[in-house]
């Protein structure tokens, strides 16, 4: 019985860890895309001067 409980806990913990990694990776991509958009905007503003 204890082995089953530990196994279930390990599976849930692993699933949570994998989901967290995907979330952090997605957040990093979002931040990168915001930076690129800001850079493009600044480049366009420089061209307009």
For the chain, the domains span 1-49
Q: If you ran DSSP here, which 8-state letter would residue 1 be given? A: -
Could you give the CA distance from residue 8 to residue 5 in angstroms, rounded to a whole number?
5
| Residue 39 pLDDT | 93
Q: Is 20 a residue whose pLDDT tops 90?
A: no
More confident residue, 9 or 48: 9
Q: How many CB atoms lie within 10 A of CB 8?
A: 10
Record the pTM: 0.53
Residue 49 pLDDT exceeds 80: no
| Total residues belonging to the chain | 49
């Amino acid at each position: 019985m204890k082995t089953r409980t530990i196994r279930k806990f390990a599976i849930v913990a692993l699933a949570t860890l994998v989901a967290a990694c995907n979330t952090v990776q997605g957040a990093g991509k979002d931040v990168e895309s915001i930076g690129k958009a800001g850079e493009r905007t600044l480049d366009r503003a420089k061209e307009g001067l």
